[in-house]
Amino acid sequence: MANPKHKAEPESAEEPHRDRVTQWRIERLLDAGYSREAALLIGHDTSIDLHLAVELLERGCPMDAALQILF
């Protein structure tokens, strides 16, 4: 019989790393010009390509249009 606690341990060990990565993503998005709310939404959604999100604003895409493209 599988031990459920054993299965949860790797996830717990990965959680601090995941939090650091999420915080880094949010900081990059804020630096690129996203609002705090948008940066939080994008930063927590790892299915969104961070590089694309940043590049859209760097190329002059308005934030509202970038959000429509990303979501």
Question: For 21-60, how does the pLDDT look when each residue is reduced to its tens digit (9 = 90+)?
Answer: 999 999 999 999 999 999 999 999 999 999 999 999 999 9
Q: Say whether pLDDT at 3 is over 70.
A: no
The reported pLDDT for the residue numbered 64 is 97
The Cα 31–Cα 38 span in angstroms is 12
Report the pLDDT value the prediction gives residue 15, as an integer from 0 to 100: 85
Nearest to 65 by CA among 37, 40, 41, 34: 34
Residue tagged 């694309």 (tokens): 52
Cα distances (angstroms) measured from residue 31 to each of 5, 9, 22, 61: 39, 34, 14, 15
For residue 6, what pLDDT is reported? 44
Q: What is the DSSP letter of 48?
A: S
